[in-house]
Amino acid sequence: MFNVTVINIKDSVKRISILILILVIIFAITKMVGALKTNKILEINISEKLLTCLNNEIPAMSSTFKKSSTTIKEDGEEIEDSLIARILGIELSQIKEVETITNSEEIQLAPAGDSNLEEDNINAKTNTSDVSSEIATNVTTQIVTQNPIKESFNIEIEGVKIKNETSFEINNSILSNQLDINKDNVIIFHTHTCESYTPSELYPYQQTGNYRTTDLNYSVSRVGDELTNYLLGFGFNVTHDKTYHDYPAYTGSYTRSLASVQNDLTTNPSDIIIDLHRDAIGSKSNYDPSVQIGEDVAAQLMFVIGTNGGGLYHPNWQSNLQFAIEVQKKANEMYPGLFKPIILRNSRYNQHLGKAACIIEVGATGNTLEQCLNSMKYLSKVLDELLK
């Protein structure tokens, strides 16, 4: 007799199939959970961390996010502040700087109202020692412009030459009142932030336009950093606003800088408001107004003061002019030739915002950045001597 074992093949296959299906479901669930976690990580790292980094390191981007939906009107033109245009317009050199930035005070822009602006000024104040003894006063000065342009003026008040382009009568009575201003707080900004100078061995750069660059290491903004550091060393409270007002669009610059300064005044109420420029004369690219002060060659400076001659409200223009004359008088005593004649014009230039508001043009296209940085050393000393 034989023992026969009967195996039910159908039942076995059924059990194995169920087991395989269970394993497949478990594997699929595990993969889905893993994918969800990965996406969450990517969402945090890319959307939050990367954008935070870009906002901090590419100055035009943070201001663009705030303004992308606004339209700025000036002189009948409407200019849409486009997010895409602003981002695409940023130079590749700026993007590379994200990896190599070591001194945010020098190359980061802090838009008006941004916390970075306050941090930059605090850091600069901490790192700047007393500079009073470092700046010579009893030195020989001599104008050394290599390619001069004839200067013109039609008024002279106590040795200060003025080119009056308005119909207002200006005489010594402008100095009859005591200059009543807050002498502690200073705002420095740039309506034309991208204005730059002749490249040199020490300060070479890639031009964005005709003597223009968006790189704040090489534009007039760098000159503003120098003045800021010296004034902080003398004990002034300084806000240096490096917002781009002329990029990507030049038209509308004064409308945008007006908004920036109004915002700065909410945190640092100031009478002394300096709009630092480079002389925009373009017909002579080698024009380099310069003065030798001791061993330094410094770019010459020039006040441009606005009035209400153009019909705009401007109650402060006489006070602004008095401030410019007082500064230039002191400069003539300390460093003759540091200033060219003051220009008085009908345009307002946003100078109604302060009782000592002014444009100071630092050098021209033919000057180097080194010469302009030297100028700030001596300008700060003049301001300290006048206002202390």
The count of structural domains within the chain is 2
Number of neighbouring beta carbons within 10 Å of residue 362: 29
Residue 36's pLDDT is 52
Structural domain harbouring 50: 9-57
Of 57, 74, 90, the last residue of a domain is: 57
Chain-centroid distance of CA 47 in Å reads: 28
Q: How far apart are CA 371 and CA 127, in angstroms?
A: 23
Same domain, 43 and 131: no
Residue range 6-11: average pLDDT?
60
Residue range 9-35: average pLDDT?
74
Residue 8's pLDDT is 60
Residue 250 lies in a domain: yes
Residue 90 lies in a domain: no
More confident residue, 92 or 6: 6
pTM of the model: 0.69
Confidence bin at 63 (pLDDT 50/70/90): very low
In eight-state DSSP terms, residue 51 is H
Of 17, 33, 57, the last residue of a domain is: 57
Residue range 253-258: average pLDDT?
98
Same domain, 231 and 379: yes
Domain containing 347 — which CATH number? 3.40.630.40
Confidence bin at 20 (pLDDT 50/70/90): confident
CB contact burial 266-280 (16+ within 10 A = b; e otherwise)? eebebbbbbbbbbbe
In eight-state DSSP terms, residue 132 is G
- Angle between helices 220-233 and 369-387 in degrees, nearest 10: 30
Same domain, 240 and 322: yes
- Sign (positive/negative) of CA torsion 355, 377, 256, 74? positive
Report the candidate in 176, 181, 294, 188 with the shortest Cα–Cα distance to residue 231: 188
* Token pair for 111: 């838009």
Residue 4 lies in a domain: no
Same domain, 110 and 52: no
Same domain, 286 and 366: yes
Residue 180 lies in a domain: yes
Q: Tell me: pLDDT of 387 over 80.
A: yes
Q: DSSP characters for 216-229?
A: TTTBHHHHHHHHHH
Same domain, 40 and 177: no
Same domain, 135 and 214: yes
Number of neighbouring beta carbons within 10 Å of residue 140: 9
Q: Are 54 and 61 in contact (CB under 8 A)?
A: yes
Q: Are 301 and 317 in contact (CB under 8 A)?
A: no
Residue 233 lies in a domain: yes
Q: Are 58 and 107 in contact (CB under 8 A)?
A: no
Residue 15's pLDDT is 78
Same domain, 137 and 262: yes
273-302: pLDDT as tens digits: 999 999 987 557 889 999 999 999 999 999
340-376: pLDDT as tens digits: 999 999 999 999 999 999 999 999 999 999 999 999 9
123-169: pLDDT as tens digits: 444 344 456 557 888 899 999 999 999 999 999 999 999 999 999 99
Residue 85 lies in a domain: no
Q: Tell me: pLDDT of 88 over 80.
A: no
Please report the beta strands in the chain, taking only residues with DSSP state E, as ranges in sequence order.
71-74, 77-80, 141-143, 155-157, 160-164, 185-189, 237-240, 272-277, 290-293, 296-299, 301-306, 342-345, 356-362
Residue 1 lies in a domain: no
Residue range 46-74: average pLDDT?
37
Q: Is the peptide bond before 248 cis (omega within 30 degrees of 0)?
A: yes
Residue 121 lies in a domain: yes
Residue 100's pLDDT is 30
Same domain, 23 and 152: no
